[in-house]
Amino acid sequence: MHRLVRHSIVKITFLGTGTSLGVPIVGCPCPVCQSADPKDKRFRSSVYVEVDGKNIVIDTGPDFRTQLLQNSIHRVDAILITHQHRDHLAGLDDIRTFNYMQQCAMPVFANYLTVDSIRRDYYYCFGEPRYPGVPDIELHNVGDDPFDVLGIEVTPINVLHYKLPVLGFRIKDFTYITDASRIEESELDKIRGSKVLVINALRKTEHLSHFSLPEALEVIEKVKPQRAFITHIGHEMGFHGETDANLPEGVHLAYDGLSVEF
């Protein structure tokens, strides 16, 4: 008698798909920044992952509070942080509401550089005596090995953002890579077999610390996910509709509010 194997359903929602300045950029008169298409409006990059009854956020940038409100998110069980730059970390203070509603500390997972940055920048969360109402953060230092997040195995993927070590994350058949300009072959092996890959591409031309669109498409071709989505997009990428229409089959520009279930 064959035993029925249940496969986890993963749902991801893009809370933000923009670069460090967001789109539109403040004061920019370019056609993309002036576009009326809501898919050309991009908060700083972040994603909400629902899997096995748990809700995980990857990155808490400066738009985090607004992203939570716009997407009607009422629960966050854990947070993964890719790196310490402000566009990925500046909204961490807004976990206080979840501390209160869920009556527990928020598990936050990051590499040692980002853990040090959190302890420094959010020093008021770790002092004694604790001031009432400050965020309650349970920090976890992520190494090279897969780690457990509330019963869910997460595989860290080491990438370089110019010379800065940044973490990507694989959760079951979903892989998320942002702020990368280089990925070693050994780390690409961790991505292979993913059904959905999200990867950064700032613009169509080369950049020092981010993949360009052609470079991101080259990574996608190497690892061959079933579907791929581009994130961390700058205004130089052009209009969403025009760029998306010219991408290879199975590859799309992500946009804020997009949900994907698999």
What pLDDT sits at residue 189? 97
Percent of the chain residues past pLDDT 90, beyond the cut: 94
pLDDT at 129: 87
Confidence bin at 153 (pLDDT 50/70/90): very high
Q: Determine which helix (DSSP H) or strand (DSSP E) holds 87, and give its type and residue range.
A: helix 86-89
Which of 143, 188, 149, 203 is closest to 172 using CA atoms?
149
pTM of the full structure: 0.96
Q: Mind listing the pLDDT tens digit for each residue in 159-186?
A: 999 999 999 999 999 999 999 999 999 9
> In the predicted model, is pLDDT for residue 48 greater than 70?
yes
Q: Is the pLDDT of residue 32 over 80?
A: yes
Using the Cα atoms of residue 119, residue 123, residue 129 and residue 131 in order, give the sign of their dihedral: negative
Averaged pLDDT score across all residues of the chain = 96
Q: How confident is the model at residue 3 (pLDDT cuts 50, 70, 90)?
A: low
Q: How far, CA to CA in Å, does 166 sit from each of 28, 110, 159?
A: 29, 9, 5
Parallel, antiparallel, or unpaired for β 196-200 and 259-261? Answer: unpaired
Query: In 225-249, which positions are buried (b, 16+ CB within 10 angstroms) versus exposed (e)?
Result: bebbbbbbbbbebbbbeebbeebee
The confidence band for 222, taking pLDDT boundaries of 50, 70 and 90, is: very high
**Average pLDDT score over residue span 38-53:** 98
pLDDT at 128: 87
> Mean pLDDT over residues 65-88, rounded?
98
What is the rounded average pLDDT of the residues 72-89? Answer: 98
- Average pLDDT of the residues in 70-92: 98
Spatial separation of the C-alpha atoms in residues 95 and 256, rounded to whole Å: 21
Residue 71 structure tokens: 């997407």
Instruction: Check if the beta carbon of residue 233 is closer than 8 Å to that of residue 202.
Output: yes
**pLDDT tens per residue across span 98-120:** 999 999 999 999 999 999 999 99
Res. 2: pLDDT tops 80: no
Mean pLDDT of 30-34: 98
CA gap 78, 238 in Å, rounded: 34
Rg (CA), the chain: 18
Express each pLDDT in 132-142 by its tens digit: 899 999 999 99
Query: Domains in the chain and their CATH numbers?
Result: 10-261 (3.60.15.10)
13: nearest Cα among 233, 195, 257: 257
| Amino acid 6: pLDDT | 59
